[in-house]
Amino acid sequence: MRLYNTLTRSEEDFAPGPGNSVRMYTCGLTVYARGHIGNFRTFICVDVLRRTLKYLLGYEVRQVMNFTDVDDRTIIGAQKAGMELRAYTDQYIAMFREDAKALGLEQVEETPRATDEANLQAMADLIRALDKNGHTYVSDGSIYFKISTLPAYGKLAHLDHEGMQPGARVDSDNYAKEDARDFVLWKATKPDEPTWTVVDPPGRPGWHLECSAMALRLLGESPIDIHAGGIDLIFPHHENEIAQSEGATGKLFSRFWMHVEYLIVEEKKMSKSLGNTYTIPDVVAKGFRPSAVRYLLLSAHYRKQLNFTWDSLSGAEKALQRLTDCLARLDAVTREGSHPEVTARVAAAQSAFTEAMQDDLNTAAALGAIFELVSDLNSAIDAAAIGTGDVAVINEAFDRFDRVLGVVSLRQAEDAKPPVPVVDIEQLIEDRHAARRRRDFAAADRIRQDLAERGVLLEDNASGTRWKRK
């Protein structure tokens, strides 16, 4: 597999670690608000990387995806809400899990919180190691990382060392991308802020420290195999993770760095002021399903910006419907036998799909290979050139595709929970058939229309009537 490595700015051959294993860390959500579709573009693309490594390449994957539940934003949010920090962040972690399930994200092996006791202890140990190696100093009760002590600082973001400000320091967890200064590891206690005593002086961790400590604690000795996140995290967050981890261990922190490009909305950057930071409930309220969101977010290469529009989401819905309609047509095939040309066409599609996914996760090309196959299959069905033996081969291929992309199974799970109870749909279909038998076509049309208004479409074919979600 070829994978683009942000560290080297080039595609490289990826190989697993010892025991055919891959240890991967993903920077998860900072839980001061509900995650939006831009966040989930990253999480879905990383989910597909995980699935590719597991199901296409057969590697053993151990993935950590954290929750940042203590930083400037979570503390301010909890204070404004008049809530304890843990309770405040709990609600957004629950929302994330709900949205992740709706979008078909596989459950990863570890989902630590920064404020877990074991993680706070790991942060304290990391600070001690950095101090021992001469990378820290204390000022105004806070502990800082001195970037001048690490000549390699800036290698991920390709920073210009001439522009760095030696001796200048920054306390904020989020700061300007050009602001390469000494950064805070441990923040001094402030009134009404959470405080821990695992480090002297007492205080609380800086954002960057948290991920380094959790990655090394849960994934083991450096280097880990892949570190992933959104492109906005390259600097300062990931650059500072490298500084902390390599400054403490003296070893390479991660072999590969994978970053997902921005999602923009209607050609504009997402922002609260523009009101375009859409969440999954926002999308559902517009009448769309999470499976269409997942499809759309995989329709472009992860290293290219993707422009989200409601029209593009409608297009994703239609594409996904075309895919599931083809699979439904296969279920109606009753002619026995198989056809070598169908088997050959399926094999060619599988080869093209695998090649695309091994080419730096080219999901756009992989979907293209699938839809070329869908077109050929629809033509073969129309020509009665598919038998039940072919259907088994085709379904197996689509199962393999979907173990990686995860869109069809998600759509099928949604279909299994229609807006009208299945038993009611089936009874109404029977009532409609009875109305048509007695030639009461007006009553039959009313049943169809009523179900359509409630989000269920009926389709008549030679083998009877099937229903699907609108």
Residue 160 CA: distances (Å) to CA of 13, 131, 138, 164: 28, 26, 26, 7
Report residue 336 as tokens.
Answer: 């026995």
Do residues 149 and 134 lie in contact, with contact meaning Cβ atoms separated by under 8 Å?
yes
How far apart are the C-alpha atoms of 369 and 363, rounded to whole Å?
A: 10
pLDDT at residue 281, rounded to an integer: 96
Residues in Cβ contact with 364 at an 8 Å cutoff, skipping those fewer than 6 apart: 299, 300, 301
pLDDT at residue 160, rounded to an integer: 81
| Mean pLDDT over the full length of the chain | 95
Q: How much is the average pLDDT of 150-172?
A: 85
Residue 439 CA: distances (Å) to CA of 122, 435, 445, 460: 75, 6, 11, 16
- Give the distance between the most distant pair of CA atoms in the chain: 90
Residue 126 has pLDDT above 80, yes or no: yes
Angle between helices 388-405 and 340-358 (to 10 degrees): 10
Going by the DSSP 8-state scheme, the letter that residue 18 receives in this structure is G
Counting Cα atoms < 13 Å in the Cβ hemisphere of 359 gives 12
Pick from 109, 88, 96, 125: nearest CA to 205: 125
pLDDT at residue 178, rounded to an integer: 65
pLDDT at residue 210, rounded to an integer: 96
Lowest mean pLDDT segment, chosen from 161-165, 230-234, 337-341: 161-165
Report residue 149 as tokens.
Answer: 């002590």
Segments of 269-363 assigned E as strands = 306-308
Residues 207-220: pLDDT tens digits? 999 999 999 999 99
Q: What is the dihedral of CA 141, 146, 147, 148, to 10 degrees?
A: 150
Please give the full DSSP string across 405-419, using - where no structure is assigned.
Answer: H-SHHHHHHHHTS-S
pLDDT grade for 372, boundaries at 50, 70 and 90: very high
Do residues 239 and 154 lie in contact, with contact meaning Cβ atoms separated by under 8 Å?
yes
Residues in Cβ contact with 322 at an 8 Å cutoff, skipping those fewer than 6 apart: 371, 374
Sketch the domain layout of the chain as residue ranges: 2-260, 272-415, 422-469
With a pLDDT cut of 70, the percent of the chain lying above it is 99
Going by the DSSP 8-state scheme, the letter that residue 55 receives in this structure is I
pLDDT grade for 83, boundaries at 50, 70 and 90: very high
Residues 391-450: pLDDT tens digits? 999 999 999 999 999 999 999 999 888 778 888 888 999 999 999 999 999 999 999 999
How far apart are the C-alpha atoms of 319 and 417, rounded to whole Å?
A: 21
CATH number of 272-415: 1.10.730.10
Which carries the bigger pLDDT value, residue 65 or residue 160?
Answer: 65
Residue 93 has pLDDT above 70, yes or no: yes
Q: How many residues does the chain have?
A: 470
pLDDT at residue 177, rounded to an integer: 65
Cα angle 414, 417, 418; round to 5: 95
Q: How much is the average pLDDT of 453-469?
A: 85
pLDDT grade for 454, boundaries at 50, 70 and 90: confident
pTM for this predicted structure = 0.90
Q: Does domain 2-260 have CATH number 3.10.310.30?
A: no
